[in-house]
Structure 1
Amino acid sequence: MIASRVALGVMRIDALDAAAAARTVSTAAESGIDYFDTADIYGFHVHELHASSRRFGQAWKDAGLNRDKIFIQTKFGIDFRFGDGGARGYDFTAKHLLDALDAELAALQTDYVDAVLLHRIDTLFELDQVAEAFDKLESSGKVRHFGVSNMGPWQIELLQSGLRQKLEINQLQFGLMHTQMLDAEIHFNVNDDPAADRTGGILPYSRLKHMTIQAWCPFQSDTEYGPFVGNAHFPELNAELDKLAAKYDSTPNGIAVAWMLRHPAGIQPLLGSMNPDRIRQMAAGADVDLSREDWWDLYRAAGNKLI
């Protein structure tokens, strides 16, 4: 797929009114973002399935975007019921996937999505059920590309063994304060970091398989303190972000995005902000080419250690 290096996740767009949603989507497009991500369960502000997709579906039209010029991606596979305990389990049966996708298309006001991802893993999944759903979605023209989220190499290999479609995308949490994939490589065969045992080698696997890693919640800290940019709980990291923002004529938000894009794996940051100013700053990070030294300085400033 050819799309912007930075994408916008619209999970929280259901909290905006129609005018604000259109401004947010328009700002993203004006900032060079043509890739938008949602999911059937998103609607946590109004407590309704498909609510974020429905708001986005109207917003991209109100913003005057050309459907053929934007990439819309959704996710499915979680059995989620508002007002009934939330997540009830996972469901990769063909019926659930097909019904969920049809409801998403209606909400998004389009007859196809550019990509759909299995939303985490259904440990009870049957390959023939997933294959049936994917074949019908592809042959009907409702889905053009397929992927997964939050899965490791062996989960992907098992799924891929029964599918005709190549799994092209894996959505994983990654950012300056979520560096487990990097830590596992750096601390391999070292006893000081158990992260080496948790990632399954997903980073080199993704590069070998030419799978795009989409980084979700890339601005969240790995603590209860929330976003790390401008957060007093992370003085060393913010000092380094400020220094590099001045050096590259950018912003701390832009530098944090540039740090992810600098990795040769071709990671696609998935922005979650609904603030137009922050979206502009983050998207501008695609124009910053960090040096190798500056990349490592940020990694260390985020609290990561080298051997």
Structure 2
Amino acid sequence: MNIPQTDISQRIISGMMRLAGRGHDGAFGFLDYVWGAGIRWFDHADIYGNGYCETLFGEWRRSRNIPRESMVIQSKCGIRPGLGYDNSAAYMENAVDGILQRLGTDYLDILLIHRPDALWEPEEIGELFDKLQRSGKVMEFGVSNFHPAQIDYLQRHLRSKVSYNQLQLSLAFAPMVSEGLETNTYSNNGLSRSLGALDYCRANDIRIQAWSPLQFGTFQGTFIDNPGYGPLNGKLWEIAQKYQVSKAAVAAAWNLRLDKNLQVILGTVNPDHFADLLRAADVNLTREEWYGLYQSAGYSLP
């Protein structure tokens, strides 16, 4: 399914990880804004705010009398703070029931396994997913931060399709791009860290949902106006002037330009910042601009 870049209801996802941090009134105000802006896809996880983000969202939807079928709600489970990862069927089934209760809904459009679990048993996950789908509790399934072999191993035991994979991607964190462009070179950027996740997902019709589009490293901060990324910020500023948007919007547009089916998760819960980033949907970078940004971020082309 090819989605136009300007269709924000399909290409931009509002991430709910920080929703609880705004408090009750702030959360409701933010959700009112994004709904009015045309956002219809929302990303949750049972660990976000220890479940309170889902509770707030459910209260907001019911208070606004928004029909459940008018939005896409996805959530993730599998991370247990203080323990590690748990993809056991018993844990996930209980987690799904908790998610549904907090969200105040009978079903999830999409359930994602949050992280790979070294102790998982895909056979029992397959049985659970069948049960969840038959009961109407979950419509579609996906994963988060999985590489191709892990998806293949899981898919062997599923009747339903793994349809989504959430992966970190930004101009300053693009190993799944560089490993393909610098294949068979001695460059460190040619080392395979995602094991071909980008092309694997493309070849298998698995939709990539890119998280942290403005971050470098793993939760190390934003590269926007960061002195460590001078050339990148210079190039972002140059292109931002052309399109009359912010540097952040250009950075998010870089992600959108990579693949017509790729979705970007915007994690901010600040209405002004969200409005700024939403302009990314209006920017269709040329091939020259896309590669220019890539190289200014420190990546090379053989």
Q: Can you list the C-alpha shifts for 1:248-288, whole angstroms capped at 9, x where unaligned?
A: 12221211111111112622111110110111111221121
CA pair 210-272 structure 1, distance change in 2 beyond 3 A: same
How far, CA to CA, are the matches of 2:194 and 2:164 in structure 1?
A: 16
CA pair 63-247 structure 1, distance change in 2 beyond 3 A: farther
Deviation at 1:78, TM superposition (A): 2.1
Q: Can you list the C-alpha shifts for 1:148-204, whole angstroms capped at 9, x where unaligned?
A: 011111100010000001000001110111110111011100012255332211111
- Share of identical aligned residues, percent? 39
How far, CA to CA, are the matches of 1:214 and 1:223 in structure 2?
A: 17
Tell whether 2:221 aligns with 1:226: yes
Q: Is the 8 A contact 2:170 2:255 kept in 1?
A: yes
Q: Secondary structure at the match of 2:274?
A: helix
Q: Which amino acid aligns with 2:71?
A: I
CA pair 282-203 structure 1, distance change in 2 beyond 3 A: same
Q: Is the 8 A contact 1:8 1:37 kept in 2?
A: yes
Tell whether 2:38 aligns with 1:32: yes
How far, CA to CA, are the matches of 1:219 and 1:194 in structure 2?
A: 19
Name 1:296's counterpart in structure 2. 291
Deviation at 1:62, TM superposition (A): 4.1
CA pair 265-201 structure 1, distance change in 2 beyond 3 A: farther
Name stretches of at least 5 consecutive residues in structure 1 with no aligned partner.
44-48, 81-85
Question: What TM-score, normalized to structure 2?
Answer: 0.93
How far, CA to CA, are the matches of 2:293 and 2:35 in structure 1?
A: 29
Q: Secondary structure at the match of 2:159?
A: coil
How far, CA to CA, are the matches of 2:35 and 2:205 in structure 1?
A: 26
Name 2:102's counterpart in structure 1. 107
Tell whether 2:23 aligns with 1:17: yes
Name 1:70's counterpart in structure 2. 71
Deviation at 1:122, TM superposition (A): 1.4
Tell whether 2:179 aligns with 1:184: yes
Q: Can you list the C-alpha shifts for 1:277-304, whole angstroms capped at 9, x where unaligned?
A: 1111112211211111111111111121
Name stretches of at least 5 consecutive residues in structure 2 with no aligned partner.
4-8
Question: What TM-score, normalized to structure 1?
Answer: 0.91
Higher helix share: 2
Deviation at 1:113, TM superposition (A): 1.0
Q: Secondary structure at the match of 1:304?
A: coil
Deviation at 1:41, TM superposition (A): 1.2
Q: Can you list the C-alpha shifts for 1:9-39, whole angstroms capped at 9, x where unaligned?
A: 1111111121111121122222332111111
Name 2:6's counterpart in structure 1. none
Q: Secondary structure at the match of 1:11?
A: coil
How far, CA to CA, are the matches of 1:181 and 1:59 in structure 2?
A: 37
Q: Is the 8 A contact 1:117 1:146 kept in 2?
A: yes
How far, CA to CA, are the matches of 1:223 and 1:154 in structure 2?
A: 22
Q: Is the 8 A contact 1:73 1:116 kept in 2?
A: yes
Q: Is the 8 A contact 1:73 1:115 kept in 2?
A: yes
Q: Which amino acid aligns with 2:68?
A: R
Q: Secondary structure at the match of 1:116?
A: strand
CA pair 145-258 structure 1, distance change in 2 beyond 3 A: same
Deviation at 1:100, TM superposition (A): 0.2
Q: Can you list the C-alpha shifts for 1:53-88, whole angstroms capped at 9, x where unaligned?
A: 1122223334554321111110012233xxxxx2x1
Match runs of 1:50-129 below 5 Å: 50-62=51-63, 65-80=66-81, 86=82, 88-129=83-124
With 218-227 and 17-26 compared, the bigger mean Cα shift is at 218-227
Name 2:207's counterpart in structure 1. 212
Deviation at 1:233, TM superposition (A): 3.1
Q: Is the 8 A contact 2:181 2:190 kept in 1?
A: no
Match runs of 1:166-181 below 5 Å: 166-181=161-176
Q: Is the 8 A contact 1:207 1:265 kept in 2?
A: no
List 4+ stretches of structure 1 deviating above 4 A. none
How far, CA to CA, are the matches of 1:175 and 1:106 in structure 2?
A: 34
With 183-192 and 51-60 compared, the bigger mean Cα shift is at 51-60
Deviation at 1:125, TM superposition (A): 1.4
Q: Secondary structure at the match of 2:11?
A: coil
Q: How many residues align?
A: 296
RMSD: 1.8
